[in-house]
Structure 1
Amino acid sequence: MTDHATTFRRLHQEGLLLLANAWDAGSARLIESVGAKAIATTSAGLAWSNGYADGDTLPVERLYAAVESIARAIRVPLTVDAESGYSDDPAAVGATIARLGALGAVGINLEDGDGTPEALCAKLDAIKRACAQAGVDLFVNVRTDIYLRGLAPEGERVGATLARARLYRDAGADGLFVPGITQRTDIADVVAGTSLPVNVLAYPGLPAAAELAQLGVRRLSAGSGLSQTLFARAAELARGFFRDGDSAPLSAGAMPYPEINALFAQR
């Protein structure tokens, strides 16, 4: 686990880390098999795969089970989207995150959402204490929703993001996730204004990966994009099958059964 933790930290110092977010052990293993250097979960996809809505509604025990299952199925570092920590109580959040580390995660995402920066800082402090006590090394990637939720006027979003970044860095954050940011000048200003490695989210209008790397971005996440697209495709196929019972579309372009099954042999 220490090797995975070291590797994961190093991946934030070597160009742009691309993360195609998984939602269960099967998707994680599939994504690993096509070249992932690390696996990140999508909170939305993971919640949906368990029959819950996104937004801190997933029972924590379900999260633990999913993380344990994913960690067993892959051989690369795992980072887990822990939403806002599934509690408003910093001590409870600290205990939850430390448990994720014990189950095999070497990184987590923690978001501020529409809460106060001070509340997130209290959670960060509790996480650092709980992980130190448990002997767990976790890369804590803090997500600020200034852009995603429009928490500041357009001309003030860079400043508001950097103000939170300073607070989160001082509270122990290892990375800064700014979903919703797309403008080149804004991205460059955020990267220049913080010592934390900056993570952005695949989003309409976002510059291509090569340009993001030139701007100094260290991490690009697919977020819930893969799971949303696959939900749409599954719904389309099911709809068509119910309509006409045609078998052909179900196998058109499908990954062969033996190839999928082989992904999990001796895992």
Structure 2
Amino acid sequence: MTLSNADIACRRATFRQLHAQGCFVLPNPWDAGSARYLQRQGFQALATTSAGCAWSEGRPDGAVSLQATLEHLRVMVSATALPLNADFGDGFGATPQQVAEAVSAAIDTGVAALSIEDASGMADAPLRPIDDAVARLRAARDAIDRAGGGVLLVGRAENFFVGVPDLQDALQRLRAYADAGADVLYAPGISTREQISAVVAAAGAKPVNLLVGGPTPLSLQEIAALGVRRISLGGALARAAWGGLMQATLPIVQEGRFDGLQQAASGAALNALFR
């Protein structure tokens, strides 16, 4: 499906408006089929998952190239009529200039938003120095501004995701990312009311994204009451699908039994969904 400039602009405006008030769930499909299913379920927008995309290609998270990621974004943008938020890793560049070039290419796919994270990928120093992270985010901001069209920029503080659960450092990073031009702030891995409230307070007027990657005692309504604007699921839906595959095949391999196929979706229902 080829999208017109007007259609892309409409999606971006719709996505921006979703962040103005209230709280919405932003689920993360990993392919065109899961995206279309989620659209049919009534979700208002979608986000890609770098992990889900990588697993679908038989790769670990972080091992998908820029070009493969851009192709995935084109497929996902075309799969539904919903705005799409791109999980864009660290920006796919060794330098801020290279990040800006990659972001420009991502914008051309028709996405409504993209995120830049500050993880370094190095075990001994899993977070980039804050000045480096800010420079990369500013480069992304400049690329978005040059392109026009209203793409949202999400700044991510990865502290709790990479084993450095320092809340004060995460808050400092998020404030710096807001000053650098991030439209939405995101600290994946926070989970308690106190942590969430602290991030919302640090964000000020900026919308906050909360990752819910598994069961939580907090309901959607309770999360909304804390001031969160959007809830993403990360790779959780992809992991649920992989969990279903594992549960279906293990009895076959271990016991020669086919009981695990009981929960399989109906072929007729799937055909009807995609017809």
Q: TM-score, normalised by structure 1?
A: 0.89
What is the CA-CA distance between 1:150 and the residue it aligns to?
4.3
- Matched with 2:118 is 112
- The reply on whether 1:231 has 2:259 as its aligned counterpart is no
What are the equivalent positions in structure 2 for 1:9-158 lying under 5 Å apart?
9-55=16-62, 57-113=63-119, 114-151=127-164, 153=166, 157=167
Name the residue aligned to 1:210.
221
Structure 2 alignment gaps of length 5 or more: 1-7, 120-126
Q: Is the 8 A contact 1:182 1:206 kept in 2?
A: no
**Aligned residue number for residue 181 of structure 2:** 172
Unaligned runs of at least 5 residues, structure 1? none
Which residue does 2:11 correspond to in 1? 4
* Farther off after superposition, 10-19 or 76-85: 10-19
Aligned CA distance change for structure 1 residues 166 and 243 (closer, same or farther; 3 Å)? closer
CA distance in 2, matches of 1:206, 1:103: 37
Tell me how far apart the structure 2 counterparts of residues 100 and 70 of structure 1 sit (CA, whole Å).
12
Deviation at 1:184, TM superposition (A): 1.1
- Tell me by how many angstroms 1:144 deviates: 0.4
Going from structure 1 to structure 2, the CA distance change for 1:242 and 1:219 (only over 3 Å counts) comes to same
Deviation at 1:228, TM superposition (A): 1.1
Maintained 8 Å contact 2:248/2:259: no
Write the distance in 2 (CA, Å) between the matches of 1:182 and 1:63: 29
Q: Quote the offset at 1:96 in angstroms.
A: 1.6
1:25–1:66 Cα contact (<8 Å) kept: no
1:45 is displaced (CA, Å) by 0.7
Amino acid at match of 2:109: L
Equivalent pair of 2:200/2:208 in contact (CA under 8 Å): yes
Helix, strand or coil at the partner of 2:158: coil
The secondary structure found in structure 2 opposite 1:85 is coil
Aligned residues: 259
Return the alpha-carbon distance in structure 1 between the equivalents of residues 32 and 99 of structure 2.
Answer: 24
Deviation, 1:129, is: 2.2
Q: Work out the CA distance in 1 between the residues paired with 2:251 and 2:165.
A: 44
Aligned-residue identity in percent = 34
The residue type equivalent to 1:101 in the other structure is I
Contact in 2 for aligned 1:101/1:137 (Cα 8 Å): no
8 Å CA contact 1:5, 1:138 repeated in 2: yes
Q: 1:166 to 1:244 in 2, by over 3 A?
A: closer
1:185 maps to 2:194:
yes
Q: Does 1:255 align with 2:265?
A: yes
Q: How far off its partner does 1:68 sit?
A: 0.9
> For residue 135 of structure 2, what is the amino acid of its counterpart?
A
Task: Give the Å deviation of 1:261.
Answer: 2.9
Distance 1:72 1:194 in 2: 32
State the superposition RMSD in angstroms.
Answer: 2.0
Paired residue type of 2:118: D
SS at match of 2:142: helix
Task: Tell me which amino acid in the other structure corresponds to 1:261.
Answer: N
